[in-house]
Structure 1
Amino acid sequence: MSDTHAIGARRALAPARLREVVRPSNGAGFGLSRYKRFASSIVILLLWQGASMAGLIAPRTLAAPTTIVATAWELILSGELPHNLFVSLGRVAAGLLIGVSSGVTLALIAGLSKRGEEIVDAPMQMLRTLPFLALVPLFILWFGIGEAPKIALVSLGSAFPVYLTLFAGIRGTDPKLMEAGRVFGLDRAGLIRHVVLPGALPSGLVGLRYALGSALLSLVIAEQINATAGIGFLINDARDFLRTDVIVVGLVVYALLGLLADALVRTVERRALAWRPNLIKG
């Protein structure tokens, strides 16, 4: 009987011991581990700066980090960087609006109807394999060299990720949930509204994250088409004058835009999917 009581006591203490193991020892240790991930990046920057100061890296090959920071500050103060950034954001916003709307609409048509899939899916699968650079001459012939071909390229780049992920999410709806909906008396429209679309929402948000990245990549290509403003124009103009510092500033801006866009979608995802019990918060 004593052995039984001892085993029961150990089982009762197990969850508490597990919590002690999982819980960080103190807040300072947890905060320190959070910053360790940036250590390698800081080391690379220091080595880069040291090689530039030692003359191992020529300014025409790659400007030093301090030079890049100074150049970025000059471009901000002169208003050149904010102006070009505003132009690029306008192109991305217009392209995303068209591309995401088209992707969602086509995914709903193909995902909710077998006939719709037969009509829509095959052309979408063929179009998504076309390289963007091959479409540039055709878009110039169709839309000219103004803003239209740039927005069209961004739209095309953002439509396919949304279509593919949302279509897969709709078709991947759990049959048991569909059957439960029918038991509760939902008709086809009710099943789509209350079962299919909420179940496909996580896949659709993943597609939106991919679409934002594809939109920025498309923008890099689009702003090579006779652009007179935008981050791509800033980079091309700097290339002609061998200004590697300005080129790196433009690349950093593209990277930060991608990071901010992903963080925005993650925030929307946490709010829109708060009903999911397996959602990790924090």
Structure 2
Amino acid sequence: MGGNELPLQRIEPVSVSGRGLPRWLRRTSGPVALVLLWHILSVTGVLPSEVLAGPSTVLSSAATLIETGELQEAMWVSLSRALTGLAIGGSIGVTLAVIAGLFRLGEDLVDATMQMMRTVPNVALIPLLIIWFGIGEAPKIALIALGTAFPLYLNVYAGIRNVDQSLIEVGRTLGLSRLAMIVNVVLPGALPSALVGLRYSLGIAWLALVFGEQINATAGIGYLMANAREFFQTDVIVVCLVVYALLGLGVDFTVRTLEKVFLSWRPAFNGT
């Protein structure tokens, strides 16, 4: 070999080459700037404590609630309600979506009813839920289940019906049975839409939880908020709102992780 060889260099795609600040730093800059602005407005008196407590007061209240164990207990109760309602509503939504998506008869029997019911505001059903289930845990979980069933139904149904027809033809050419076609082609093809529906359902679960915990709650984040409202404790209210946000962020992160695990076979655009 000649002596004019160029040294070998590793070539990286532009999409993965590092540019500028790390991504985690860019993602946290917005929330940090917002908290900093909130602190400045509080210490300068532009934002009175009667209107909204400052970050230092909120942190102090959070530490007190953690020390007494009230916050952990409330988080566990609220998380249990949300996940139980999601499990019930999600199971119903996915089951009906599979029936309507796979079979024309199922679509005729299920889809029109689901499309009609999803337009009814869930909050408007609270009086009926109280009459049917009382004022215990059942109406709270039922409200969450109703809210989470429809996003999963719509997305799973759309995912099944939008499976590439060429994949179906390939399956038929390979001689796959109807069951094998559903298990190996249709359901994996509908999985991306199902995970999107799950993310929507989780977001709605937290919204429904806020309303549900106003129904004679004796525990949970909503109960803490209701008590704080009675005594104009804006610091405790902010603590509860932050907890709601962090719980929602946590479960959303879980779903995003599931997407990376189960959809690793699918190339996707990650932004520029």
Do these two structures clear the TM 0.5 threshold for a shared fold by scoring above it? yes
Query: CA 1:201 to 1:279, structure 2 compared with 1: closer, same or farther past 3 Å?
Result: farther
Q: How does 1:28-43 map to 2 (within 5 A)?
A: 29-31=20-22, 34-43=24-33
Q: Paired residue for 2:5?
A: none
CA contact (8 A) 1:273 1:279 kept: no
Q: Paired residue for 1:191?
A: 181
Query: CA 1:37 to 1:20, structure 2 compared with 1: closer, same or farther past 3 Å?
Result: closer
Query: CA 1:173 to 1:40, structure 2 compared with 1: closer, same or farther past 3 Å?
Result: closer
Q: Paired residue for 1:23?
A: 17
Query: CA 1:17 to 1:96, structure 2 compared with 1: closer, same or farther past 3 Å?
Result: closer
1:130 to 105, 120, 127: 120
In structure 2, distance between residues paired with 1:199 and 1:104: 15
Q: Paired residue for 1:78?
A: 68
In structure 1, distance between residues paired with 2:38 and 2:148: 35
In structure 1, distance between residues paired with 2:30 and 2:168: 49
In structure 2, distance between residues paired with 1:17 and 1:279: 20
Q: Paired residue for 1:257?
A: 247
2:44 to 32, 38, 54: 54
SS state of the match for residue 212, structure 1? helix
SS state of the match for residue 244, structure 2? helix
In structure 2, distance between residues paired with 1:131 and 1:22: 44
In structure 2, distance between residues paired with 1:71 and 1:143: 35
In structure 1, distance between residues paired with 2:186 and 2:111: 19
In structure 2, distance between residues paired with 1:20 and 1:274: 20
The Cα of 1:121 is off from its aligned counterpart by 0.7
CA contact (8 A) 1:128 1:160 kept: yes
CA RMSD in angstroms, aligned pairs only: 2.0
SS state of the match for residue 228, structure 1? coil
The Cα of 1:42 is off from its aligned counterpart by 2.8
- The reply on whether 1:63 has 2:53 as its aligned counterpart is yes
2:232 to 234, 242, 262: 242
Relative to the length of structure 1, the TM-score reads 0.87
In structure 2, distance between residues paired with 1:232 and 1:20: 47
The Cα of 1:34 is off from its aligned counterpart by 4.2
Which sections of structure 2, spanning at least 5 residues, go unmatched?
1-9
- The reply on whether 1:177 has 2:167 as its aligned counterpart is yes
Q: Paired residues, what number?
A: 262
Relative to the length of structure 2, the TM-score reads 0.90
Percent identity for Structure 1 against Structure 2: 55
- Amino acid aligned to 2:194: G
In structure 1, distance between residues paired with 2:39 and 2:268: 45
The Cα of 1:21 is off from its aligned counterpart by 9.7
Query: CA 1:272 to 1:41, structure 2 compared with 1: closer, same or farther past 3 Å?
Result: closer
1:163 to 153, 176, 184: 153
- Amino acid aligned to 1:177: L
Q: Paired residue for 1:144?
A: 134
- Amino acid aligned to 1:162: L
In structure 1, distance between residues paired with 2:105 and 2:235: 54
Which sections of structure 1, spanning at least 5 residues, go unmatched?
1-15
The Cα of 1:36 is off from its aligned counterpart by 3.5
Which has a greater percent of helix? Answer: 1
Query: CA 1:45 to 1:176, structure 2 compared with 1: closer, same or farther past 3 Å?
Result: same
